Amino acid sequence: MFGNFIYFILVLLIYLTYQPSDDTFFTAFDSCMLFIFLIFLFSFLTRFQFQRIERRIAKGQYLRIDHQFNTAVLHQSIMAILVFAIDIYGLNLPSFIASLAPFRTIPTLAALLFLLLFVFYLAIVWSFAYDPYQMLYRPGISRRTYVISNISFSIPVLLPWLFLSGISDIIHALPFESPKRFLNTTGGEVTYFLFFLFGVAIIGPALVQKFWRCKPLEDGYHRSRIEGLCQRAGLTYANILYWPIFGGKMITAGVMGLIRKFRYILVTPSLLHLLEPEELDAVIAHEIGHIKKKHLLFYLVFFVGYMFLSYVTFDIMIFAVIYTKPVFWFINKTGWSQTTVVSGISSIVIICVFLIYFRFIFGFFMRNFERQADTYVYALFDSAKPLITTLEKIAATSGQSADKPNWHHFSIRQRIDYLRKCETNSSWIARQDGKVKKSIGVFLTCLFFLGILGYQLNVGAMGDRISKHFMEKVILREIEQTPENPNLYSLLGNIYYNTKNWAGVRDTWEKSLALEPDNAQVLNNLAWHYATCEDERFQDPVRALAMAKLALRLEKEPHVWDTLAESYYVNGMYQEAVEAGRQALAMAGKKRTYYEDQLDKFSNAAGNLKLKIED
């Protein structure tokens, strides 16, 4: 089930790294038809996979059938991610709705729409998986409960982002300038993210337990026993709740919440019905161990660590991948836009980093935290034998192999074997605690130096020099190989613009334009350069206006309208600048503040000119 968390975060990354463009592979109608075809094809293949398993079970062929079932669920879930990626990058579905008013004003609504599409794909998988699941494990739950339980367990991982992004969209839609300016800065983005992250970590459990439709455990023997054990361990909490996951048929428990007011202990009805009192104590002791050993707090630190890693490495890795010969060869051969290729490569890099970080590093800590929580039982009891018998019951009743490990837990067999070592030699308890402490120490040390490196690379001058020098050398090397490639001169001009090498900017962009006269981006860039260059020797207002008009004929985007407005402005044509500025503002998305300031500048100039004429 925890794998579903990774699936949802992956599709969110796939969506967020896509840049909508008017240059789509298919028309809206063709994309819609292909979209429907993919749904039917995916449904057919999924149904076929699970029907094969059903036939094996019906024939009594149970050898490795549990492994085959879980592999089929995994493969079809991955296929759902691939189909989703095709919808985004192949069919360009977000590009067809990006201009619609609700999605343009609140982009989070579009993200939510596509996340629901992925939920639909997973619902197809879980719906067809239900019959073999029922035949294998006999859980006694309906298909509807099985599908909804999978969805409801996974969706909360997206709620923080939905709130974070949604509130940001609302702030940008409201007529208040100070919050917009603050959020448009790097410091503002980081501060907002950290504030929101800690806020969600504190009060999020209260929202999640409502989403899961948990209900308080009634007064009685079980509640009194759990309360007594928590009091003995010195653990405070808000409530003890029934956890209705998979109709309450799973033998499991959980704990969530960093602070007492929003901390909840979760137990399923099957856990209470099937376990002996001592076994229930051992399970609750395990959950108490997560709190006492500060595991939940470290998970929060781990997410902050991922942000640091992203801050440091993404730009460097993306530059290293993008500015290589195979990428330019691919762009030239396919004819795809540079924006589309860069967006796709960025997605791949980001997803790879995410998978490595969470699957292996985070997975390492999760497995060892679970083992440490197992050994915490010895802090409250003399023996962990009740926990061992509980694990054996879980293996027996679930129908799954005790030797089956996963990325976030050791296998049941491994957990039992380690507890038996602790039964015979208590030094294994201290050994696990020591392993966790050392691992956390290494992680925090790496995080500290990663933060310093991130600051130097992204804020300090060192990173700016490294990236520009790296890109310039690579592009110049490519120009030697393919001197007729206009994209290379365009990219080199971008670097020179950032370093204020104005002669280089003019020469490289003019060269790019000579090779590709209908390039709207280069026309727009040159027009802006000739209209606004800090060095007056390189200003050419007349040429700026001519190029801006040509760029607008090819691409009617807000930034192109803004360049035309600026070109009118530097030519003293203030009323025309106002009209073009209004067009830019009408098409603007989140950066409305900039376009509003531009329009004020043009309007003031037009007003002053009118007063002079009247005088």
Give 316's pLDDT tier (boundaries 50, 70, 90). Answer: low
Q: Calculate Rg over the CA atoms of the chain.
A: 29
Q: What is the pLDDT of residue 375?
A: 95
- In 3D space, the residue among 7, 1, 200 whose CA is nearest the CA of residue 85 turns out to be 7
Residue 26 and residue 24: Cα distance in Å, rounded? Answer: 6
Amino acid at residue number 400: Q
Beta-ladder partners of 267: 242, 253
Q: What is the pLDDT of residue 461?
A: 57
Q: What is the pLDDT of residue 546?
A: 94
Q: What is the pLDDT of residue 480?
A: 81
Whole-prediction pTM: 0.67
Residue 143 and residue 449: Cα distance in Å, rounded? Answer: 50
Structure tokens at 447: 């995080």
155-179 burial: b if 16+ Cβ within 10 Å, else e: bbbbebbebbbbebbeebeeeeeee
Structure tokens at 55: 């036939």
Highest-confidence segment of 99-108, 137-146, 525-534, 586-595: 525-534
Mean pLDDT for 237-255 is 84
pLDDT tens-digit map of 366-425: 999 999 999 999 999 999 999 999 998 888 776 666 777 677 788 899 999 999 999 999
Q: Is 217 left (phi over 0), alpha (psi -120 to 50) or beta?
A: beta
Highest-confidence segment of 64-73, 320-329, 386-395: 386-395
63: pLDDT strictly greater than 80: no
Beta-ladder partners of 256: 264
- Structural domains in the chain, CATH included, are 1-184 (no CATH), 194-274 (3.30.2010.10), 291-458 (no CATH), 461-614 (1.25.40.10)
Q: What is the pLDDT of residue 467?
A: 59
562-571 burial: b if 16+ Cβ within 10 Å, else e: bbbbbbbbbe
Residue 361 and residue 350: Cα distance in Å, rounded? Answer: 16
Q: What is the pLDDT of residue 528?
A: 94
Half-sphere CA count of 550, side-chain side, radius 13 A: 19
Mean pLDDT for 514-536 is 92
Give 215's pLDDT tier (boundaries 50, 70, 90). Answer: very high
Q: What is the pLDDT of residue 162?
A: 80
**DSSP 8-class letter at 360:** I
Structure tokens at 601: 């500048």
Q: What is the pLDDT of residue 551?
A: 93
200: which residues sit within 8 A by CB, 6+ positions away?
A: 159, 160, 163, 164
3-class secondary-structure state, position 347? helix
Element (H, E) at 254: strand 253-256
Percent of the chain with pLDDT over 90: 39
Residue 250 and residue 261: Cα distance in Å, rounded? Answer: 27
Percent of the chain with pLDDT over 70: 85
The position carrying tokens 């190029």 is 547
Residue 411 and residue 417: Cα distance in Å, rounded? Answer: 10
pLDDT tens-digit map of 264-311: 999 998 889 889 999 999 999 999 999 999 998 898 888 878 877 777
Give 438's pLDDT tier (boundaries 50, 70, 90). Answer: very high
191: pLDDT strictly greater than 60: yes
